[in-house]
Homo-oligomer: A and B are copies of this chain.
Amino acid sequence: MDMHEVPRAEPPHPAQDVFEHVGYRLKQAHAALRGAMDAVLREHALTVPQYSCLEVLAARPGLSNAELARATFVTRQSMNVVLRGLQSAGLLSRPDTVATGRARPTTLTDEGRRRLRAAQRDVYAVEARMVSALPAGRLEALLTDLGRVTRALHDDHPDHAGALGEPGT
């Protein structure tokens, strides 16, 4: 263990108690969010990856399979099966052939937009529950710090860093 305590110099060491590590708390919060979203989306016959796909697609129409995969933090292969399912359900459409390149731009159908809107009502209630649990002004700090943590992790693992939603500064 430690030779002796560092005199409260705010050391960048992990806390002694595992349950107060940033990683543990992050995992805990994510698990809670996942569970809440699973429960809510079940009534809409949508999985979390499916919903995430629709949500991102509504914000950035025309994204390709690989781009959607990066934006939702899954592999291209996983997103491929998600897209097949959503396409066969009539919630989105992709051109069978494309003028140039291999990437096929994906767009929501009217039915897809309808289903997304219905699900958003419940999912946004979950989001609102998280936001309202934070003291005034702390939301922005939380978002900023989560961004810092993400960037710090990507710095040493520059796989698909700097995807969507990464603030410039």
Interface residues of A (CB under 8 A from B): 10, 12-14, 17-33, 35-37, 39, 52, 55-56, 58-59, 73, 123-124, 126-134, 136-139, 141-143, 145-157, 159, 163-165
A127-B19 contact, Cβ under 8 Å, with A132-B152, A134-B145: no
Main secondary structure of the interface of A (DSSP, over half): helix
Cross-interface CB contact of A152 among B12, B22, B129, B156, cutoff 8 Å: B129
CA distance A47 to B41 in the complex (A): 29
A22-B150 contact, Cβ under 8 Å, with A27-B73, A59-B17: no
Please tell me how many copies of the chain the complex holds: 2
Contact across chains for B127 and A28 when beta carbons are under 8 A apart: no
